[in-house]
Amino acid sequence: MNKIISVFLILISLLFLSCSSDKQNWTHFRGSKMDGHATVKTAPLHWSDTENVVWKVPVNGLGYSSPVVYDNQIWITSATEDGTEFYTYCFDFETGKLLYEKILFKSDEPQHIHSTNSYATPTPCIEDGFVYVHYGTFGTACINTNNFKVVWKREDMPCKHMQGPASSVIIHKDKLIVHLEGTEDPYVVALDKKTGKTIWKSVRPAEIYDPLEPVFRTSFQTPIVIEVDGRELLISNSSFMCFAHDVNTGEVIWTIEYGFDSTVSQPLFYDGLVYVNSGWIFEDNKPYFTRLYAVDPTGKGDVTKTHIKWMNEDEMPQIPTPLIVDGRMYMVHDRGMVTCLDPKTGTPIWKEKLKGNFNASPIYAAGNIYFINVKGECTIIKPGNSFQKVAENDIKGTVKSTPVFVGDKMILRSDKFLYLIR
């Protein structure tokens, strides 16, 4: 009987620790599952620069990367505005105390970036014991989160970003997936996350990309990994084409072709379909609109004519990633139009215009969807077949980082501060 009780107590403890760990972790861009869903039961509804702020701490430099969280640590990246120094910071979740600050990389001749970008826009990723930070061509590193020692660094992965780095890194089993898609020979690599050594590298096909204008080769998207028919596919919506790689070997399994300029929005996978964003489609040499495609991911080769289930180009976002909740897709256009549509057919259900411009992706937390514009104004809505506003809030400053929800709190980053909001 004592043995049974002991085993029962151990199982209960493990369950408690597991729930606690899940509750306090936010390991990638758009959450631990990269689907924009926060696994929280309650979330803040009302705040300002002073109201319901647990702590507010300054962050040196400029960065639009989102925070990542593991246990009681919050990690973010930043850089000087001129791109000569690249920082990594770790803060205590409960108090906001700075636990770690380090200049990981330096650049004597930083590349030009777009005026709306920063030199620290890629979001890190984190797991038990290790955080992985990435600044595009300027460097990638792994840091031990227990002793803050740098495990490995890579500064030999070149990329002519043209408009600055933005693609975030992701962990998949033993690999760290890194996209470096610039104006010359765009490519994706899988690194051994323990050593930083290259496992495989896939360069975009020269016969397709070399004839394109250099700007049309660049991409700023963050990939996802899905499983289809027993095979793990890396869905990488590059500029001009989307590639599905075998994530273990780098082999290209299928592609679709959709257009020209830089892709930013992350792919989605829901109910057997992949949703990918085309980036800007140009007319008369001006960025005109963006397309969203629903793709059956079971094909092989060029499946542009056979596996696209629908396409929508009406107010589709270029930068913010859409969100799927309870069989409905919600998205905000860069200029503020919110669309709810049926992800099976692409048919709009409702539209509503919000004020301001948007870079941050919407997040679903505790039954509501959070839309935060560049000026720090947040509109919270209830998902459903009509527009239902729950609350509006704002903070001072520029907000391009996607918010993070852990426990019953929200971590929000502006251009100058990091907030913990209750």
Q: Which residues contact 29 (CB under 8 A, 6 or more apart)?
A: 66, 123, 125, 168, 170, 222, 266, 402
CA distances (Å), origin 47, targets 310, 408, 419: 40, 14, 11
> What are the chain's domains?
22-421 (2.130.10.10)
Compute the average pLDDT of residues 197-222: 95
Tokens of 303: 């499946």
Tokens of 350: 């409702």
Compute the average pLDDT of residues 75-97: 98
Q: Give the angle subtended at the CA of 241 by the CAs of 243 and 342, to the nearest 5°.
A: 85
Compute the average pLDDT of residues 184-204: 98
What does the mean pLDDT of the chain come to?
A: 93
Q: Which residues pair with 377 in a beta bridge?
A: 394
The Cα 240–Cα 66 span in angstroms is 26
| 8 Å CB contact between 411 and 89 | no
Instruction: Give kind and range of the element (H or E) at residue 420.
Output: strand 417-421
pLDDT surpassing 50 at residue 18: no
Write the DSSP string, 27-41.
-STTTTTTSSEE--S
In the sheet where 308-312 sits, what is the strand order? 268-270, 273-283, 286-295, 308-312
| 8 Å CB contact between 279 and 262 | yes
Tokens of 36: 């924009």
Residue 284's pLDDT is 67
The Cα 81–Cα 292 span in angstroms is 33
Q: How far is CA 351 from the centre of its chain?
A: 24
pLDDT surpassing 60 at residue 13: no
Residue 23's pLDDT is 52
60-83: pLDDT as tens digits: 999 999 999 999 999 999 999 999
226-244: pLDDT as tens digits: 999 999 999 999 999 999 9
How many Å from the N-terminal Cα to the C-terminal Cα in the chain? 44
pLDDT surpassing 70 at residue 285: no
350-407: pLDDT as tens digits: 999 999 999 999 999 999 999 999 999 999 999 999 999 999 999 999 999 999 999 9
- 18 φ/ψ angles, rounded to the nearest 5 degrees: -65, -45
Q: Give the angle subtended at the CA of 128 by the CAs of 417 and 42, to the nearest 5°.
A: 55
**By C-alpha distance, which of 391, 376, 322, 398 is closest to 43?**
391
Residue 281's pLDDT is 74
What is the percentage of the chain residues whose pLDDT exceeds 70? Answer: 93
pLDDT surpassing 60 at residue 189: yes
Compute the average pLDDT of residues 276-302: 86
Compute the average pLDDT of residues 122-133: 98
The Cα 130–Cα 281 span in angstroms is 39
